[in-house]
Structure 1
Amino acid sequence: MSLLDKVPGDLKLYIGGLFTLRRKDQLAEAGITHVLSVLRLPLEEKLFEGYKHMVVEVDDVEDENLLEHFPAATRFIDEGLASGGAVLVHCAMGKSRSATCVIAYLMQKYNISPSEALEQIRQSRPLCEPNEGFMKQLELYHEMQTPENVEDTPAYQRWVYQREVEMSRACGQAPEAEKIRFEDEHVTAKDDSGFDMRCRKCRRTLATSQFLIPHQAQRGPADSCTHYFLDPLSWMRPELEKGEVEGRLECPNLKCKANVGKYAWQGMRCNCGEWIVPAISLSKGRIDEAKKRAADPSAMGIRMPATAGPRGPGQNNL
Structure 2
Amino acid sequence: MSLLDKVPGDLRLYIGGLFTLRRKAALQDCGITHILSILRLPLDKELFESYVHEVVEADDVDDENLLEHFPACNKFIQEGLDAGGGVLVHCAMGKSRSATIICAYLTQRNNISPHDALSQLREARPFCEPNDGFMKQLELYHAMCTPENVDETPAYQRWLYEREVELSRACGQAPEAEKIRFEDEHEKESSAADFELRCRKCRRALATSQYLVNHKKRKETNPGGQASRQTDGCSHYFLDPLSWMRPELEQGKLDGRLECPKCKTNVGKYAWQGMQCSCGDWVVPGISLAKGKIDEVKSRPPGAVNLGIRMPPSMGRKPGPGQQNL
TM > 0.5: yes
Q: 1:14 to 1:189 in 2, by over 3 A?
A: closer
| Counterpart Cα distance in 1 of 2:290 and 2:241 | 15
1:31 aligns with 2:31: yes
- 1:304 — aligned with what? none
Matched residue, 2:210? 210
Task: For 1:113 and 1:58, locate their aligned partners in 2 and report how far apart those are by CA, in whole Å.
Answer: 23
Matched, 1:270 2:296: no
From the superposition, tell whether residues 26 and 258 of structure 1 become closer, same or farther in structure 2 (CA, over 3 Å).
same
**In percent, how many aligned pairs have the same letter?**
70
Q: RMSD value over aligned CA atoms?
A: 2.4
Q: Secondary structure at the match of 2:14?
A: strand
- Residue in structure 1 matching 2:259, options 250, 253, 263: 250
Q: 2:193 touches 2:208 (CA, 8 Å); kept in 1?
A: no
- What does residue range 1-318 of structure 1 map to in structure 2 within 5 Å? 1-188=1-188, 191-219=191-219, 224-253=233-262, 256-297=263-304, 310=316
CA distance in 2, matches of 1:177, 1:104: 33
Which amino acid is 1:229 matched to? F
Label 1:42 to 1:238 Cα distance change in 2 as closer, same or farther (>3 A).
same
TM-score when normalising by structure 2: 0.90
* Equivalent pair of 2:277/2:283 in contact (CA under 8 Å): yes
Provide closer, same or farther for how the CA distance between residues 268 and 48 of structure 1 changes in structure 2, counting only shifts above 3 A: same
Secondary structure of 1:40's aligned partner:
coil
Letter paired with 2:316: P
Q: TM-score, normalised by structure 1?
A: 0.92
Count of aligned pairs between the two proteins: 309
**2:243 partner amino acid:** S
Counterpart secondary structure, 2:248: helix
- Structure 1 residue 82, shift from structure 2 partner: 0.6
* Deviation of 1:47 (Å): 1.2
Q: Distance in 2 between matches of 1:112 and 1:50?
A: 34
Larger % of helix: which?
1
What is the rounded CA distance, in whole Å, between the counterparts of 1:190 and 1:6 in structure 2? 42
Residue segments in structure 2 that go unaligned for 5+ positions in a row: 220-228, 308-312, 320-326
Alpha-carbon offset, residue 193 of structure 1: 3.7
- Which amino acid in the other structure matches residue 103 of structure 2? I
CA distance change for structure 1 residues 35 and 312 in 2, over 3 Å: closer, same or farther?
farther
**Secondary structure of the structure 2 residue equivalent to 1:224:** coil
- Matched residues in 2 for 1:286 and 1:310: separation? 42
8 Å contact from structure 1 (residues 182, 231) kept in 2: yes
Identify if the C-alpha distance between structure 1 residues 117 and 312 changes in structure 2 by more than 3 Å, giving closer, same or farther: farther
